[in-house]
Structure 1
Amino acid sequence: MTADEPVFLAIDAGTGSVRAIAFDVDGRVVARAAREWTHRPTPGHLGGADFDTPGGWRLTADAVRQVVGHLGGHPIAAVGVSSMREGFVLYDEHGREVFACPNTDGRARRQAQQLADSGLAERIYELAGDWVSITAPARLLWLQQEQPEVFAATRHFGMLSDWVVHRLTGEFTTDPTCGSSSALFDLAARDWSGELAAAVDLPRGILPQVLECGTVVAGVTAEASVATGLPIGTPVLVGGADTQLALHGIGAEGGTPTVVAGTFWQTAFISDEPLIDPQRRLRTLCAVAPDSWMTEGINFLSGLSMRWFRDAFCPDATAEGGSAYDAMERWASAAPRGSNGLVAVLSNIMQTDAWHHAAPAFVGFDINSPAAFDRGTFIRAIEEAAAYVVRGHLAILSEVTGGRATAAGSLVLTGGSSAGALWPQIIAEVTGLTVQPSTAPEATAYGAARLAAAAVGAELPPLGAPGRAIIPSAGAVAEYDAAFEHWGRVYRAQLAATRASDLAPLFTPPGGLPYRAEAAVR
């Protein structure tokens, strides 16, 4: 590219880090920088986590400044922003942050339970498409009860992507993708719900204007220019949510489900109407395009489970050179389908109002057969467990969409876990669908950059269009039909054992309804 060609900057405020990435007009990465952050525990409140806004802004500005310094003469045409979902920031009358939490904040368990007991949680799900476990209503009630002075001082509310936009422009806005993750939205209207705001005593005037994704908010202020190195007046777009922007980055559209396989996995389907699961299993949020919505099932920590096994049991995985995950998949490829009966008990299929998980376990290995139950067998069991949960989510999506979600007979797989050869193959054989891996790096950031380009009249193509198609054989699908049923039986038994003992489950949602047998793994 020539020295004066424009670039498009994406800022992605994720759970564990903030990244700044500049893309050129052909969609190639020109410069990138990342800064890791951690979320400090809330003193005296078990499970609470605070987002450090002064420190977070310093890290964000530092990453952006590093990218700007590497661009030379390339002008930045526009800035797009993305962030984790659910986390939010409150501001006082002067625009100063008075409270901020990340998506992992779990301090409001008692308040979530109050919402569930009162029946308000059900109404929130009907209108907003999500339960109260880690969303804003319970956290706002916590503030009213535990820190009333902070709540009284609040004059503005925004999500974490909105916070980055505010820091850059001074404006208060949100977009439907991140805004809807607050559980204060009327999904059908793609706007704030006055009813839900009133239900948690949140004045309507505190909620920011909702702008569709890709709308230019304002230019970079002089103060933000000094901090970041961005030129004053550089156009900044309204932010967006990470999963939805990842789907936008790869060009995902309605008709084919997509599995975004990162630390958590999302099995998502885009539709032209807000599909609310009447059994409250999956959740629904707004998607990027106007008049589009996304229904998703979440695999809890499926990607992290693989990283845990790597760190705990595979220190020699890079001894032969190359990626540790490549070596782990080679070992797993030697194990047969069904992992010789070994079951990894990890994430449960989503039931958003009563999402009970078992204590993590490996069940069914024989210590007298080390050859049959080596590391490769355990790795394959981890990958199969994730695929079983995807299968469960696809079945629910098919039911909720009247068969549309699986009618095409295929799914797109993207995210870090899509890079290997074995995991996509297992997903194809477990689900019976053709899997199209889309190994798009930085899909979320690229989705933000695509919006930034469109806002100034440019166009970036979808990134990492599906390449190879993995078509499962009928024999492999039949083998996994039996293995899936076996996994379900084992999971239910482990769930019962967890409930009958003091074992710690993988996850217990705040405000979850009591355990129901019909809501256990299917």
Structure 2
Amino acid sequence: MKADRLVAVVDCGSTNVRAVVVDSNGVFTAQSSLPNKPSPQPGGMGWLIWNMDELWDRVRTVLRNVLSKVGKVDAVIVTTWGADGAPVKRNGELTYPPICWQCPRTIPIAERLPSIMNPWEIYRITGYQIISFNTLLKLIWLRENEPKALDEAYTWLMMPGLITHRLTGTFHIEPTSASTMMAMNLAKRDWSSEMLKLAGLDVGFFPEWFEPGDVVGYVTAKASEETGLAEGTPVVVGGHDTQFAILGAGVKHGEAVLSSGTWEILAVRSSVFNPSKVGFEWGVIIEADVEPGLWNPQLLMIASAVLEWVRERFYPELPEGYYETLIRDASGVQPGSGGLLFIPSFVKDSGPTRRFKTEGTLLGLTLSSSRAQVYRAALEGLSCQLKLAVNALVESTDFHIDAIRVVGGGSKNRLWNQLRADITGMPISVNS
């Protein structure tokens, strides 16, 4: 690739939508971001969905912002969070909106699934634990509650596919996001008919497989008008943001990657798919790597969402995503946070504490407890969670971890990085 060639990366997270233009040396030449959040589904059930028109509006806005600075780009790629997707008609129209991973409607399905299929067998096939937001559970919910949404659909697209379709008009699915569905035969990097039958589906319902890096289509005239991208610009297959963070971190032997954002994912790259009983008990999940023939054993843990919960309740005067005041205040608090113990198990069926069935807990409050102590206790609790995750990966994979490389928004919190190092006893490096 020539040095002057540019790629626009649409990095669509559940809390921020970002566009970055990168040159062939990996240098960011322009970037723009907007906050992102799910919408309450009309009906007052407390359900959450993604409004695709609003999400697309954010995507095209950040693209226009970066293109105003650099002009034309040579290619586009899309990465997003995993687990969420939607059924679509042949013209791309949704038959049901994407159900958000935070929506509680699938919890009863997760609770009853072990009586239908052995959780260990599910793990052995898919590499996935039963977590309430898994895509397969949403498909089962649709089959039971909104069957027309599936019956009238042409196919199913995960979030990268939904955005890519708006750019190109093409349908595709790729292994990195599909591996978050709990529906793949992960050893074969293909669908599991046995898992899909649980939702009354077969492999023919899903679009053609593409691999990350393939050209899936080209920017249409309509998408060009909406985004500012030149018509005919190649759109390259992306996928699940976590796997791309792992690839981009450039980890060395013995290093684990900690992708830190709303969720934290501690992962390694492995040349074998080896779901073990130990990993199953610890809550380890395994996803498809960007590169065929590799897999990503990992621990999925709630992270910055906990810190945002603290900010909302104890620092309500501060804007969303602003942490400098919290970090400054907590830096003046002694280790131990005045006796406060914070267990960050806010999503109890994920992370290394799932085996203990622990729920989110704050212990040790007194009349003299301060909000700075609460925030530091949350950071300490998250760092202890990381230590448990390291132990779990080492025990279940025989992968020796002696250093951790942190990427993502959570890597910018200097106090958190220091606590990670102190509590794990490992060097912490941060990608610039």
Shared fold (TM-score, shorter chain, > 0.5): yes
Q: Which residue identity lines up with residue 357 of structure 2 in the other structure?
A: H
* Kept in 2: contact 1:180–1:286 (CA 8 A): yes
* Kept in 2: contact 1:225–1:231 (CA 8 A): yes
Higher-Rg structure is 1
* Kept in 2: contact 1:255–1:270 (CA 8 A): no
The CA deviation at 1:340 is 4.2
The CA deviation at 1:292 is 1.4
Structure 1 partner of 2:396: 400
2-structure distance, mates of 1:63, 1:178 = 23
Could you report, residue by residue, the CA deviation over 1:241-271 in whole angstroms, capped at 9, with x for unpaired residues? 1111122222235531122222222221221
* Kept in 2: contact 1:253–1:270 (CA 8 A): no
1-structure distance, mates of 2:184, 2:129 = 12
1-structure distance, mates of 2:113, 2:51 = 28
1-structure distance, mates of 2:341, 2:264 = 19
| 2:288 pairs with 1:292 | no
Structure 1 partner of 2:210: 211
* Kept in 2: contact 1:216–1:237 (CA 8 A): yes
Deviates further, 170-179 or 387-396: 170-179
Structure 2 partner of 1:282: 284
* Kept in 1: contact 2:143–2:199 (CA 8 A): no
Give the gaps of 5 or more residues in structure 2. none
The CA deviation at 1:316 is 8.4
Structure 2 partner of 1:101: 99
Q: Which residue identity lines up with residue 237 of structure 2 in the other structure?
A: V
Q: 1:20 to 1:414 in 2, by over 3 A?
A: closer
Q: 1:352 to 1:103 in 2, by over 3 A?
A: farther
1-structure distance, mates of 2:15, 2:147 = 29
Structure 2 partner of 1:220: 219
| 2:151 pairs with 1:181 | no
1-structure distance, mates of 2:36, 2:318 = 27
2-structure distance, mates of 1:255, 1:177 = 23
Structure 2 partner of 1:505: none
| 2:361 pairs with 1:360 | yes
Q: 1:284 to 1:5 in 2, by over 3 A?
A: same
| Equivalent residue for 1:113, pick from 86, 107, 111 | 111
1-structure distance, mates of 2:342, 2:385 = 12
2-structure distance, mates of 1:35, 1:334 = 32
1-structure distance, mates of 2:137, 2:411 = 35
How high is the sequence identity, in percent, across the aligned residues? 27
Structure 1 partner of 2:376: 380
Could you report, residue by residue, the CA deviation over 1:445-497 in whole angstroms, capped at 9, with x for unpaired residues? xxxxxxxxxxxxxxxxxxx2xxxxxxxxxxxxxxxxxxxxxxxxxxxxxxxxx
1-structure distance, mates of 2:353, 2:293 = 24
Structure 1 partner of 2:237: 238
Could you report, residue by residue, the CA deviation over 1:140-171 in whole angstroms, capped at 9, with x for unpaired residues? 12111111211111221121001111221222
1-structure distance, mates of 2:95, 2:316 = 44
- Equivalent residue of 2:262, what SS? coil
Q: Which residue identity lines up with residue 379 of structure 1 in the other structure?
A: Y
Deviates further, 86-95 or 63-72: 63-72
1-structure distance, mates of 2:151, 2:165 = 21
Structure 2 partner of 1:305: 306
* Kept in 2: contact 1:254–1:271 (CA 8 A): no
The CA deviation at 1:366 is 4.6
2-structure distance, mates of 1:110, 1:377 = 36
2-structure distance, mates of 1:167, 1:255 = 40
The CA deviation at 1:226 is 2.2
- Equivalent residue of 1:265, what SS? strand
The CA deviation at 1:374 is 4.2
- Equivalent residue of 2:133, what SS? coil
- Equivalent residue of 1:386, what SS? helix
- Equivalent residue of 1:271, what SS? coil
- Equivalent residue of 2:14, what SS? coil
Q: Which residue identity lines up with residue 110 of structure 2 in the other structure?
A: A
TM-score by length of 2: 0.88
TM-score by length of 1: 0.74
Structure 1 partner of 2:334: 336
More relative contact order in 1 or in 2 (CA 8 Å, sep 6+)?
1
